[in-house]
Chain A
Amino acid sequence: MVKETSWGSRLFDTFNVIILAVIALITVIPFIYVVAGSFATQRELLEKGFILFPTEFSLEAYKYIFSTSTLMRSLGVTIFITVAGTLINITLTCLMAYPLSRRDMDFRSPIQLLIIFTMLFSGGMIPTFLVVKELGMLDTYWSLLLPGAISAFNLIIIRSFFQQLPPDLEESAKIDGASDPGILMRIVIPLSLPALATFSLFYAVGHWNTYFSSILYINDSTKWPIQVLLRQIVMLSQGGSLGDTSSLESNFIPPDQAVKMAVIVISTVPILIVYPFLQKHFAKGALLGSVKG
């Protein structure tokens, strides 16, 4: 019998456990610092610099944020974009994935080829911008909702998922007189709920974090999602040469550290709340995505 745990092996285990704990801490401490800082008073932040637990608990930063209309409006925009965008994403993706999963449909492979090609080559930023502009979507929420309405990648994966469902179910439903949309609604979608939930989440996180498309398509600062505002607030007071500050109102007072931290917290909190519940789905979705569609 071979000895299970030699001295060297145990030493290795101990080190491994410790190093991993350090890595995990390095990952989360910046977040904890930001959350703690958002509840601290400006005085404590200035005196101590680094705190993980504020001794003078203060809600000032949040009170300030919730009293400003700018931030609340941005938050509202982001919530709207996330909900509406995800609904559009998942509806359009399912509608397209289902016919493509049906082997008895004609023109299936040319259409799929057309879709896969868009993953390899694209018109790029300027031509896409001009299309959005020509459609009159600049400065409207449509510009944040429609140009990314379907992810070719997710579409192909969901199609593969639909394809794996037993065809007998569909056939018997057909004999019972169900139409194709009926089959999609009553059989295919209910059977694929876990996969669809995962992809809805990926889509939703994407909308919540959306930044660049708003910079590109939205000039009107009243329609800015929270991420754009966050950037303005945090980087504005870092010296005039940074970023373009011209887009902010001239009477905007640079906020203190605690407020900046509170804005970071507010713009991530929804993700942090759903995260623990969905961790296993996320991981599964990532694997689905990394295995060839």
Chain B
Amino acid sequence: MGNPIAAVKPAMTNVYRRQKLRRMVRNKWLYIMLLPGLLYFIIFKYVPMYGLLLAFKNYQPFLGFVDSEWVGLKHFNRFFGDPLFWKLLRNTFILAAYNILFFFPLPIILALMLNELRSQAYKKWIQTMVYIPHFMSWVVIVSIAYLFFTTEGGLVNEAIASMGGEKVQFLLSPGWFRTFITGEVMWKETGWGTIIFLAALAGVDTQLYEAAKIDGAGRMRQLWHITLPAIRSTIVILLILRLGNFLDTGFEQIFLMLNSLNREVGEVFDTYVYTTGISQGEYSYSTAVGLFKSVVGLVLVFGSNFLAKRFGEEGIL
């Protein structure tokens, strides 16, 4: 007695295969539509990933990608052996920590303040104003910072001078660099950052407030016992996401604020990749630096996603 299932199985897969083929022919237009996008992802996303192999080669432009010789971990050894590596790590780390410490709480506070407003019209008006800088380019933001803080006719320095003070080299001194980077982010993104918290706050059941009022809770107690717990999970998930992008300290902004005098504290992984790779043409070495950053970034993203799930959130993946 043979196994009937075993006999049926090949026939079934054949039927499935034929059905699938027929479905694919019927859906041919879908595949044609998909084609440009797929090509895009392959050419501009996956070919560069393959190009990461450059980090293990000695790229010679005249030899080309394939014929350049393999050098193993040479570039990585050079990078990790360079004291510069620690400087980059430190700069990136401090800027990221500043961001979390000083910028991260601001949108939450602002959203809570907006949420306490009684006049909806006033709330809308304030929102309109504080969202604006988000849509400005970093070039514009940094340019405005220059106009305000330069020693050559900059507003702030003129004010200091007119009060008898000495002009301060805000933009050229390493001591001010981190303050400026964090301050600019605070100014540009605080308003926009409120959106997600305001949405979370809009979802709070108003009956909770009614009940708290009847129990005699003042506004501070309502804030503490109802409002904050309501947005707690949003805060946690955003913080974790931020940790996942820890190494991504606004590249364009830093690039624009960097100059030869503040490079000591301002150089981060991305800007270093640009300088060594594009300006000095050391393609292989800077690819290795970039690869290091990508891999650490990937680990951070997965780590933070794991954390998010531990906190009972849905996670991002």
Write the residues of chain A forming the contact surface with B, with a CB cutoff of 8 angstroms: 2, 6, 8-9, 12-13, 16-17, 19-21, 23-24, 26-28, 30-31, 33-34, 37, 46, 49-50, 92-93, 95-96, 98-100, 102, 104-106, 111, 114-116, 118, 120-131, 135, 146-147, 149-150, 152, 155, 179-181, 184, 205, 208-212, 216, 227-228, 230-231, 234-235, 237-239, 241-243, 257, 260-261, 264, 267-268, 271-272, 275-276, 279, 282-283, 286-287, 290, 292
With A and B bound together, what is the CA distance between A283 and B192 in angstroms? 9
Q: In the complex, what residues of A have CB within 8 A of residue B256's CB? A: 211, 231
- Name the segment of B7-15, B41-49, B84-92 touching the other chain: B41-49
**B71 contacts chain A at the CB level, 8 A cutoff:** no
Q: Which residues 93-124 of B have a CB within 8 angstroms of A?
A: 110, 113-114, 116-118, 122
**B291 contacts chain A at the CB level, 8 A cutoff:** yes
Distance (whole angstroms) from the CB of B128 to the closest CB of chain A: 6
- Interface SS of B by simple majority: helix
Q: Which of A49, A238, A275, A287 contacts B159 (CB 8 A)?
A: A49
> Is the pair A27, B135 in contact by a Cβ cutoff of 8 Å?
no
> Is the pair B126, A150 in contact by a Cβ cutoff of 8 Å?
no
Mark interface residues in B117-139 (1 if CB within 8 Å of A CB, else 0).
11000100110111111011111
> Is the pair A95, B37 in contact by a Cβ cutoff of 8 Å?
yes
With A and B bound together, what is the CA distance between A121 and B54 in angstroms? 16
With A and B bound together, what is the CA distance between A114 and B297 in angstroms? 18
> Is the pair A227, B139 in contact by a Cβ cutoff of 8 Å?
yes
Q: Which residues 156-170 of B have a CB within 8 angstroms of A?
A: 158-159, 162
**B172 contacts chain A at the CB level, 8 A cutoff:** yes
Q: In the complex, what residues of A have CB within 8 A of residue B130's CB? A: 23-24, 27
> Is the pair A124, B216 in contact by a Cβ cutoff of 8 Å?
no
Given A34-B147, A146-B44, answer yes or no on A13-B118 (Cβ-Cβ < 8 Å): yes
Given A105-B30, A238-B152, A287-B196, answer yes or no on A267-B140 (Cβ-Cβ < 8 Å): yes
Distance (whole angstroms) from the CB of A280 to the closest CB of chain B: 10
> Is the pair B218, A230 in contact by a Cβ cutoff of 8 Å?
no
Q: Can you add 14 more A-B contacts, CB < 8 Å, to A205-B135, A286-B192?
A: A12-B116, A16-B113, A26-B187, A104-B23, A118-B46, A122-B48, A127-B54, A135-B43, A211-B137, A212-B252, A212-B255, A216-B278, A264-B143, A287-B199
